[in-house]
Amino acid sequence: MKSIAFLAAIACVASLTGCGDKSSKNAAPAAQASQGNEKDVATRFAEQKAAADNAFQASQASNERNQLIDNLSAMGKRWGDGLNEAAKTGRSDMPAMIKKLEGIKAEAEALPVNDCTGKARTTLVSAMAAAIESFNMFIKETGEASAATKQKMQQASDLLQSAEKEIEACKPIS
């Protein structure tokens, strides 16, 4: 009986010692696996954060571009309204109208732009300058507008159409 108890005690000690060894041997791979998972999670988190940051920046750039286009379009509309008013203005009242058009042109020159809208603004301002020059030529004349004045106004009209096309080309494709 003592031998059975002795053998049972040895078996118990051996199994406890063996379990301890096994657990310490298994603990290292488990810890390494846990560290590997943490690195994977950190990597995925960093990738997701970078993707979210890129999406935010793209959205912000799109909003900025749309705002620049809207500002330039609004300026073009104001200019068109000014031209319509100038077309109805008598020669004697034209200097005040020219001042008003020059003010709109100065505002257009001050508009912020990006790579795309910069060319459109330059073309719009050139159209404005040509129109203002044609009105200045007109007030110095008597009677009908001269061929040179009409030609300058046609140049202004062509430039204005080009500016409108350039503004449209800046709009995102929907």
Q: What is the pLDDT of residues 4-59, one digit of tens each?
A: 544 444 444 444 445 444 444 555 555 565 666 788 888 888 888 888 888 888 77
Q: Roughly what angle, to the nearest 10 degrees, separates helices 115-140 and 94-110?
A: 170
- Give the DSSP letter string of 104-171: HHHHHHHS---HHHHHHHHHHHHHHHHHHHHHHHHHHS-SSPPHHHHHHHHHHHHHHHHHHHHHHHHS
What are the boundaries of each domain within the chain? Answer: 42-170
Residue 25 is predicted with a pLDDT of 52
Q: Which are the contacts of 172, defined by CB distance < 8 A and separation ≥ 6?
A: 62, 65, 66
Place 107 in a pLDDT band, splitting at 50, 70 and 90.
very high
Q: Which CATH number among 2.60.40, 1.10.10, 1.10.3470, 1.20.120 corresponds to the domain 42-170?
A: 1.20.120
Q: What is the pLDDT of residues 127-139, one digit of tens each?
A: 999 999 999 999 9
- The arithmetic mean of pLDDT across residues 66-85, rounded, is 93
- pLDDT of 161 > 90? The answer is yes
Residue 162 is predicted with a pLDDT of 96
Helix (H) or strand (E) holding 1: none
Residue 174 is predicted with a pLDDT of 65
